[in-house]
Structure 1
Amino acid sequence: MNSRGYEIRSIRSDEWRQVKELRLDALRDPVAHLAFLETYEKAVAEPDAFWQDRASGAAVGATARQQIVAVGEDGVWAGSVTVLVEQAGVPDAFGEVPEYDQGHVVGVYVRPEYRGSEAGVTRGLFDAALAWSWASGLERVRLFVHERNGRAEAFYRKAGFLPTGETTPMPGGTDELELEFAITPG
């Protein structure tokens, strides 16, 4: 899939160095504390084997999670998004038991110079994440957004995600709002 000069695609397992670089950049972002549960200090200390495993577990062909990336014509990764698969009846990462087979969008990051660009990088990433989710047979896709991350919430709503009315507590004593995209094509 192309988005005005960017190739939007699933990562390959041999791209662990790029996965690591983009994630470390994301964790240095000024709003990282609102958007990610991981810290830069923890992530930078991880060995190469961690990043290799992370990439292979989210690469093209994986079924439990998929990382989608926007790669510019210059080879620079402009951003990425990951979809985790949560199965109906199986406790998720928060200990909740979903009613549906669903995707959980995490790790959303677009480099600042590509945010809001005419190239539509963020929209392209979300369109690809939703397409992968529907093709995987998922019935619903959800994400959580920090109550003080207004820019992200505004984009998610524009992309078609709507509040469910649910919140979940996060480390640090804050709550995050759950939004969902529940309309499957067909």
Structure 2
Amino acid sequence: MSATTSGDYVVRAIRGDEWEAAKRLRLVALRDPMAGIAFLETYEDALTRPDSFYQERAARSADEPSGARQFIAEASDGEWAGTVTVLIEEAGTKDWAGFPVEWRQGHVVGVFVRPEHRGSGLVKALFDAGVAWAREEGAERVRLLVHEDNARAQGAYRKAGFVPSGVTVQLDADEGKTEFEFVLEWPS
């Protein structure tokens, strides 16, 4: 997949040898004040993962076909300003949470833009790259889950064209973590 330019940023898929930069950005994301409701992993858990975990993740993302692709927005100074990952889910299977998958679809995860780059249109640019890749992979739609209390993310997803599907997911019955499914569909 080729890179696209959005303002002062280049949006592209990561390469397998960029695992250290991917790891650094993930750790920054997990330190964000909203990380507790935005990600399923904690900063402490991510720190304990061996480098081989990040190496394998980056290599899988760069492989063709891989079933997953991580995109980054690279600023003119080389800093990775944001990221999004898209997983391909196959119709007739179950997703990571055990729910049935009805369509071949992209599932957006790991959305993060560094605070100093927010409001620049990067979320939309990252989504555009991820959605284009999912369509190339034969996805019929793209979805994501967002915590009910994460209004900032919900607003960004709406601006990128995603809409609530009406599906809610209870992630943790003990803590009452409810997430809303947002989808981006296109005519067949």
Q: TM-score, normalised by structure 2?
A: 0.94
- Which has the bigger relative contact order, CA under 8 A and spacing at least 6? 1
Letter in 1 for 2:45: K
Please give the secondary structure, in 2, of the residue aligned with 1:2. Answer: strand
- Offset from partner CA, 1:81-129 (integer Å, 9 cap, x none): 0001100001111111211100000000000000002xx2221101111
Could you say which residue in structure 2 is the equivalent of 1:78? 81
Q: Assess if the C-alpha contact under 8 Å between 1:144 and 1:176 holds in 2.
A: yes
Could you say which residue in structure 2 is the equivalent of 1:148? 149
Could you say which residue in structure 2 is the equivalent of 1:7? 10
Equivalent residue runs for 1:1-186 within 5 Å:
1-59=4-62, 61-117=64-120, 120-171=121-172, 172-184=175-187
Q: Assess if the C-alpha contact under 8 Å between 2:123 and 2:160 holds in 1.
A: no
Show structure 2 runs of 5+ residues with no match. none
Show structure 1 runs of 5+ residues with no match. none
Q: Assess if the C-alpha contact under 8 Å between 2:86 and 2:109 holds in 1.
A: yes
Please give the secondary structure, in 2, of the residue aligned with 1:143. Answer: strand
Q: How far apart in 2 are the matches of 1:154 and 1:121? A: 14
Q: How far apart in 2 are the matches of 1:121 and 1:91? A: 31
Please give the secondary structure, in 1, of the residue aligned with 2:62. Answer: coil
User: Which stretch shifts more, 155-164 or 79-88?
Assistant: 155-164
User: Which stretch shifts more, 167-176 or 74-83?
Assistant: 167-176
Deviation at 1:31, TM superposition (A): 0.3
Q: How far apart in 1 are the matches of 2:29 and 2:44? A: 12
Q: TM-score, normalised by structure 1?
A: 0.95
Identity fraction in percent: 52
Q: How far apart in 2 are the matches of 1:8 and 1:154? A: 21
Q: How far apart in 2 are the matches of 1:40 and 1:62? A: 30
* Root mean square deviation, CA, Å: 1.2
- Offset from partner CA, 1:23-77 (integer Å, 9 cap, x none): 0000000000010000000001111111101111122534310000001111100
Q: Assess if the C-alpha contact under 8 Å between 2:124 and 2:159 holds in 1.
A: no
Letter in 1 for 2:168: T
Q: How many residues align?
A: 183
